[in-house]
């Protein structure tokens, strides 16, 4: 299992964490190429369905990132994210998955180095756990294919 490369889905808050990921990229900070970042308007917008769907489609781990407490652009969205991630981690246990496959972190727009460090740490943590036993097989042609195009659950409504 030494050649196992985990597939990690990151749900990143638009206002802080996504900007932190961007800073890591433009600053050429090194971290494993094991992640797919999905921008959400707020970490509080991430539902258990998003997390479970990512795992079902073959993600080996899911990371939810948001603004630091007290800095949420939607007042209490990150507090909602805490409750969602805690409940979903319990649900993972009922499904026979390790709760460690799900993680919540606060990353601000100025913390590119923190983003890179957390990606490296989480990749190591997921590598130690091994492949997701419930998801799409790593040998299939299209792992996480459902996350490459917008899902009806993730797409915002056009209100025009």
pTM assigned to the model: 0.83
Percent of the chain with pLDDT over 90: 81
146 in a structural domain: no
The whole-number average pLDDT for the span 69-74 is 93
In this model, does residue 60 exceed pLDDT 50? Answer: yes
The whole-number average pLDDT for the span 21-41 is 95
Is beta strand 8-13 parallel, antiparallel or unpaired with respect to 61-66? parallel
If we measure between CA atoms, which residue out of 55, 64, 62 comes closest to residue 133?
55
Q: Which domain holds residue 92?
A: 8-138
Q: Name which residue leads in pLDDT, 156 or 7.
A: 7
- Domains: count for the chain: 1
CA distance 4 to 128: 9
90 in a structural domain: yes
How confident is the model over 99-150, as pLDDT tens digits?
Answer: 999 999 999 999 999 999 999 999 999 999 999 998 765 445 444 554 544 4
Longest dimension (CA), the chain: 51
Residue 144 pLDDT: 55
How confident is the model over 81-98, as pLDDT tens digits?
Answer: 999 999 999 999 999 999
153 in a structural domain: no
29 in a structural domain: yes
Confidence bin at 2 (pLDDT 50/70/90): low
Compute the mean pLDDT over every residue in the chain, rounded to the nearest whole number: 87
Q: What is the CATH number of the domain that holds 16?
A: 3.40.50
143 in a structural domain: no
151 in a structural domain: no
Q: Supply the DSSP string of 39-81, one letter for each residue.
A: EES-GGG--HHHHHHHHHTT-SEEEEEEPPTT--TTSSHHHHH
The whole-number average pLDDT for the span 13-26 is 96
The whole-number average pLDDT for the span 32-59 is 96
124 in a structural domain: yes
């Amino acid at each position: 299992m030494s050649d196992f490369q985990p597939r990690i889905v990151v749900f990143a808050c638009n206002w802080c964490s996504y900007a932190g990921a961007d800073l890591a990229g433009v600053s050429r900070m090194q971290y494993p190429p094991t992640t797919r970042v999905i921008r959400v308007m707020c970490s509080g917008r991430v539902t258990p369905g998003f997390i479970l769907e990512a795992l079902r489609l073959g993600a080996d781990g899911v990371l939810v990132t948001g603004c630091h407490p007290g800095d949420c652009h939607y007042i209490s969205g990150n507090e909602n994210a805490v409750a969602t991630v805690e409940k979903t981690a319990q649900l993972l246990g009922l499904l026979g998955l390790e709760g460690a496959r799900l993680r919540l972190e606060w990353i601000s727009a100025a913390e590119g180095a923190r983003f890179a460090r957390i990606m490296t740490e989480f990749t190591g943590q997921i590598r130690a756990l091994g492949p997701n036993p419930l998801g799409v097989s790593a040998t299939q042609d299209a792992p996480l294919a459902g996350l490459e195009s917008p899902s009806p659950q993730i797409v915002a409504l056009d209100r025009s």
